[in-house]
Amino acid sequence: MDMGNQHPSIKRLQEIQKEVKEFEPQVAAFSGLSGDRAYKKLERSLTKQLFEIDSVDTEGRGDVQQARKRAAQEIERLLRELEQNANHPQRLELESIFKEAQTLVEHEVTGFYKGGNCITEEFDEGIQDIIFRLTQVKTGGKPSLRKARYRTLTKVCAVQEIIDHCAKQQPSLPLSSDAHPSVAKINSVMCDANKAKGTLIAVLMGVSSNETCRHLSCVLTGLIADLDALDVCGRPEIRNYRKEVVEEINKLQRFLDLDEEADSTYAYDLAQNRCILKIEEIRRKMKEINSSLLKGDRAADLYLKSKAELQLLIAQLDEVSPGKNPCIREARRRAVIEVQTLITYVDLKEALVRRQAFVQQAEAEPPSHRAVWNILETLSQILQEVLSFDGNRADKNYMRLEELLTKQLLALDAIDPQGDERSKAARKQAVKLAQNILYYLDMKTDEWEY
């Protein structure tokens, strides 16, 4: 239709729709909560556009009424999406875990305000647990949840890194003030930088209402300016001392950029991450080996070759550097378990084949030892099914496999070794194997994603 011949009301509605279109990416990526300033700003902007649409005069024309209705429905959809993002169950779970982290930090941060660096073992374990639980929150691939999880994780991990660095730091400094007139000033700046760590932790975790990232950045920049103004010519040891203190302050400043980094799609969409791509490539190779083992008519011929290939995959996973990202660490950990489970299957099948070659010796074994080997043979069949299982926990096959494994554990528990040490050791290994298969089955079906 020629734009010049359109009704003025239609033109106005199209202008409003164009403005509303600009809000779509912001709504889709919104990772905050309904009480956040950004949420209220977006909500106000969309509501304002809704009022603009309501003010368009239809003049009783059906086409204008339909256009106005469609425009209003689009804004209402965006408002619903915004509300859903802010109140999504997983988003609220992330916030709940983050509040636990805030409580932990509030108890420890006081010492840092005073320039100390002593933390309790309870705090260290608590932070580790929180990081692990955050990595387990499912996002379903939803950009807003991925972004929220990444933002929360980076803050908690940053606090852990700051505290770990303080705990491990064993400076040969400060220097004696008698060494040079500038040393007293550098020592003073160093003390201020150490106290700033407490302020930084409080700001990152949102437990300080008196400080902001902007103000803290200005304070740290001022400290560097004070150091730059010092005259340390001809004194390399003092120049190096100043350099170390400047590097410490620069590290703190980098933590203040976390929020900006969290807006980068590359940062929170780990499907684009180089390490994740490498892990996925290794997993694809592992699945090919798995398929060959499970489908091969003469699987025994494949054992030696497959085991060597799987051990190579383990070595390749060891080379993957997850850096400080706990989600990548978890992805690597799970990939290692997948490969190790397949190696266990190969080892078990090899052991069963070897045992069949010595039937007479097997018959002379104590009944308890033979009973354990019978269960191991059953476990090898169950493990084969588990390796090929590709369903979820609602599947009947999952429940059947879980029940079979539980029965094998009960059967092992009922075996009386009657003092035979070999039987005791064999039963212990079989119990561990059954438990590991059960754990692997649970891991395969927990719907975890990075």
In this predicted structure, the answer to whether residue 198 has a pLDDT above a threshold of 90 is no
Does 85 score more than 80 pLDDT?
A: yes
Q: What is the pLDDT of residues 131-183, one digit of tens each?
A: 889 988 888 878 888 889 988 988 888 888 887 776 665 444 555 655 667 78
pLDDT of 450: 73
Q: What digits encode the pLDDT tens for the residues 14-23?
A: 999 999 999 9
What integer best gives the mean pLDDT of the chain?
84
SS (HEC) of 26-94: HHHCCCCCCCCHHHHHHHHHHHHHHHHHHCCCCCCCHHHHHHHHHHHHHHHHHHHHHHHHHHCHHHHHH
> Of 184, 188, 190, 158, whose CA–CA distance to 171 is shortest?
190
How many C-beta atoms surround the C-beta of residue 247 within 10 A? 9
How distant, in Å, are the alpha carbons of 131, 167, 186, 234, 237 from that of 173? Answer: 33, 15, 10, 19, 11
Q: Which residue is associated with the tokens 């804004």? A: 75
Between 338 and 205, the higher pLDDT residue: 338
Angle at 440 between CA 445 and CA 446, to 5 degrees: 20
Q: What is the mean pLDDT of residues 325-349?
A: 90
pTM for this entry: 0.70
What's the mean pLDDT in 258-263? 62
Tokens of 3: 């734009």
User: What pLDDT was estimated at residue 161?
Assistant: 82
Q: Which range (36-45, 90-99, 104-113, 246-255) has the least confidence? A: 104-113
Q: What is the mean pLDDT of residues 292-320?
A: 80
Q: What is the number of helices (H) and of strands (E) in the chain?
A: 19, 0
pLDDT of 256 > 60? The answer is yes
pLDDT range class, residue 217, cuts 50, 70, 90: confident
In this prediction, what percent of the chain has a pLDDT beyond 90?
36
CB 159 within 8 A of CB 127: yes
What pLDDT does 311 receive? 92
What confidence tens digit (pLDDT) does each residue in 381-410 have? 999 999 999 888 889 999 999 999 999 999
- What pLDDT is attached to residue 1? 43
Q: What is the pLDDT of residue 22?
A: 92
CA-to-CA separations, 79 to 17, 25, 65, 84, 255, in angstroms, rounded:
14, 13, 21, 9, 33
Position 278 pLDDT exceeds 80: yes
Which of 176-190, 234-248, 404-418 has the highest mean predicted lDDT (pLDDT)? 404-418
- CA geometry: angle 37, 197, 324, nearest 5 deg: 80
Q: Is 68's pLDDT higher than 60?
A: yes
Per-residue pLDDT band at 362 (split at 50, 70, 90)? low
User: Is the pLDDT at 437 greater than 70, yes or no?
Assistant: yes
What pLDDT is recorded for position 2?
A: 47
**Integer CA distances (angstroms), 382 to 14, 228, 339, 343, in order:** 62, 68, 17, 15
Please indicate whether residue 96 or residue 119 has the higher confidence score (pLDDT).
96
Tell me the per-residue pLDDT of 95-115, one tens digit each, with 9 for 90 and over: 999 999 998 888 776 655 555
pLDDT digits (tens, 9 = 90+) for 369-381: 889 999 999 999 9
Q: What is the pLDDT of residue 167?
A: 63
Q: What is the mean pLDDT of residues 343-368?
A: 81
